[in-house]
Amino acid sequence: MNKVYFALGLHFHQPVGNFEEILERAYQNCYKPFLGVFSKYPEIKMAFHISGNLLDYFEEKYPEFLDKVKALVDKGQVEIIGGGFYEPIFQAIPKIDRIGQIEMLTRFSENRFGVRPIGLWVPERVWSPEIIPELNVCGMKYAILDDAHLIKAGVDKDDVYGYFLTGGDDAKVAVFPSDKALRYTMPFRPPRETMDYFKSILAKKHDPLFTYGDDAEKFGEWPYTHDWVYKKGWLNSFFKALTGNIRWIETVKFSDCLSLFQPLKDVQIPEASYEEMMEWANGSWMNYLERYPESNQMHKRMWHTSQRIKDLVCSDKVAMKRDKLAEAKRELFKAQTNCPYWHGVFGGIYLYHLRKAVYEHLINADKISDEVEHAQQDGWLDIKEMDFYNSGRQTVIMQDKDFFICVDPADGGAIRELDYKPESWNLVNTLARREESYHKKILDRINKNYSSNFEIHEAIKTMDKGIKNGIYYDKNIRACLIEHFIDNDLSKGDFANCNYTDKGDFQEGTYRAGVEDRKVVLTRSGRVNDRPVHITKEISIIAGEGIEINYTLKNQGDSGMNTCFGIEFNITMPNAETDRYSDKGNAFILKDSKDELCVELRFSERPKKIWHFPVRTVSQSERAYGLSYQCSCIFPIWDIKLASGEETGLNMKISIKK
């Protein structure tokens, strides 16, 4: 008898660093009730992929949830899908970490559920054929992608009702294409529409195999879904529809499909993701690293940390330290969670707490590596010039037991990262204000300029009233030690809103960098109001005290110079936004909102004035258009008067205190 075969896979995920109240809400509104309803229908088979951050959470808070999953596995009702433990984009991490992440989840599944997964959940369905060899090494026999991947590979939409093989002669993997029509109807449309869709394809195909692979959060955690799925009974009705039509609909596990069916064909699937992601990322997920320099900073820091751990594992310093390095790897893997590195309809990189988690775990991994590499070494200091950004240009990395500093000579000689290791905190965890495609929709709403194709889901999004004050875009990255020469009558508001013209060319210019006497020395000859000016800035770590910065400005012109000179600092405190600022003598102090830490900027010469203001971006989530705090900008300004050939110096110290 001709029948429908239906393979269902659900992906349970929350990013590392997400607020515990969100995990609790998702558990109560989605995960717990879903399992409660599903358990009542033993005839229905399904596959679960649960990412590592949720596994950690369940194990600590709700181990009974995992016990119930284990019982369903033992009954043969649930298949466990593997993948990267902490949900990395495989293409974006080193090969050794791809294997390490997959093996970590495989070991957990064996120990907790008693099964070894042979299927892979591909995070955000970001696929690249380059990962196939690592999948084979890890024993992964199949992966779930979207039908869009197959269509991009040349398969007709009417021919995706089965599974495919992809790869070369030496390494292949089966691919199940998740059906877009199902993803858009489940759980948003009445169950009968899914049944009607099955019937329409069954009338044209013999024993079609349908694949559904999507987020479990759609079943209760997404906005407005909890009432619909549970209180109004969608999930119960859907399972009843499946079991009521068991004569012609059979739910199957993905692993069983490999023996029940032959692959439809062998195809070469190019780099791809789901359609919306391809649109957001302009064709490739890796483009996010170009669009957001802050994402690239996290990514290259992650890569640098991974390489350091790898080098230590291979060195003679690893004796009796393997447990330590395994701990460092777990911290690294947590920092590879994909969510903070990109942005689409969810907050992603715009969410400070997710970026904070990335840096926190990378710094934790670094501290463990420090213990291994610099055991019994007091007062160590490491300064290296390297191609940190893999861009063909040199970057300087300076660190000791307390600080990690990344200086980018090619981008204004700015400090792109300043980690305070004792608190696992990056002071320069910032994000610049930049244009997003949906900003036009926001402006249209403000101006009530609705087009004829106004999307209905736009109407349900709330909007922060503060957005009506304007959307502004930054001229450069939000980092530290960015030099500006400005008009004397420039207002703080115009500077904050980037409504000004810089009189110098130092803020994004390239500096020459070198290392002298345990200091990073940066020099640049540029122009201010078309007058030649030379700047030298020296950065050093003073053990046990903080960071010292020395500036020398020299007028190389033929006439005198009278200008306003400012140094831009962009700092984010551990608990994000703070309004606890104080200006005391030659010092400016930021205190954390919870009063746990403070950053002091102390100047040798009191600035004429110090501007400070919060930097907020306009971004979207699935629920709202909002203003998100990203950092506090501190901008001390001095009057500089120099005769021809004259130079002046400024000294400042950055210290962190409890």
Distance, in Å, from the CA atom of 237 to the CA atom of 247, rounded to the nearest integer, reads: 17
Average pLDDT on 608-635 reads 92
Residue 397 lies inside a defined structural domain of this protein: no
* Contacts of 365 by beta carbon, 8 Å cutoff, 6+ apart: 305, 309, 328, 329, 331, 332, 335
CATH assignment at residue 487: 2.70.98.10
Residue 375 confidence (pLDDT): 87
Phi first, then psi: give them for residue 28, nearest 5 degrees. Answer: -70, -35
**How long a stretch of residues is the chain?**
658
Amino acid identity of residue 29, one-letter, is: N
Give the pLDDT band (50/70/90) at residue 450. low
Q: Can you tell me which residue has the tokens 């619909």?
A: 228
Distance, in Å, from the CA atom of 305 to the CA atom of 203, rounded to the nearest integer, reads: 55
pLDDT surpassing 60 at residue 206: yes
Distance, in Å, from the CA atom of 390 to the CA atom of 616, rounded to the nearest integer, reads: 30
- Catalytic, 444? Answer no
CB 444 within 8 A of CB 383: no
Residue 495 lies inside a defined structural domain of this protein: yes
CATH assignment at residue 223: 3.20.110.20
Residue 624 confidence (pLDDT): 81
Residue 292 lies inside a defined structural domain of this protein: no
Phi first, then psi: give them for residue 634, nearest 5 degrees. Answer: -120, 125
Q: Which of 280, 301, 323 is the last residue of a domain?
A: 280
**pLDDT per residue over 63-96, tens digit each?**
999 999 999 999 999 999 999 999 999 999 999 9
Q: Quote the distance between the C-alpha of residue 140 and its chain's center.
A: 25
pLDDT surpassing 50 at residue 452: no
DSSP readout, 398-463?
A: EE-SSEEEEEETTTTTEEEEEEEGGGTEETT--------TTHHHHHHHHTT---TT--HHHHT-EE
Per the structure, how many domains does the chain have?
A: 2
Q: Which tokens go with 472?
A: 């502004």
* Mean pLDDT for the chain overall: 94
Show the CA angle centred on residue 377, arms to residues 373 and 380, nearest 5°.
85
Q: Which of 232, 255, 280 is the last residue of a domain?
A: 280
> Which structural domain, as residue segments, surrounds residue 257?
4-280
Q: Which tokens go with 198?
A: 């099955």
Q: Quote the distance between the C-alpha of residue 649 and its chain's center.
A: 40
Distance, in Å, from the CA atom of 514 to the CA atom of 512, rounded to the nearest integer, reads: 7
From 56, 103, 124, 505, active-site residue: 124
- Alpha-carbon Rg for the chain in angstroms: 28
Which secondary-structure segment (H or E) carries 46?
strand 46-50
Residue 627 lies inside a defined structural domain of this protein: yes
From 56, 103, 207, 215, active-site residue: 215
Residue 515 lies inside a defined structural domain of this protein: yes
Could you give the C-alpha distances from 546 to 63, 518, 579, in angstroms and in order?
44, 14, 23
Give the pLDDT band (50/70/90) at residue 404. very high
Q: Across-strand partners of 385?
A: 396
Q: Which of 236, 262, 280 is the last residue of a domain?
A: 280
pLDDT surpassing 80 at residue 595: no
Q: Across-strand partners of 398?
A: 383, 405
- Between β-strands 482-486 and 78-80, what pairing exists: parallel, antiparallel or unpaired? unpaired
- Catalytic, 124? Answer yes
Amino acid identity of residue 479, one-letter, is: A
pLDDT over 90 percentage in the chain: 87
pLDDT over 70 percentage in the chain: 97
Give the pLDDT band (50/70/90) at residue 320. low
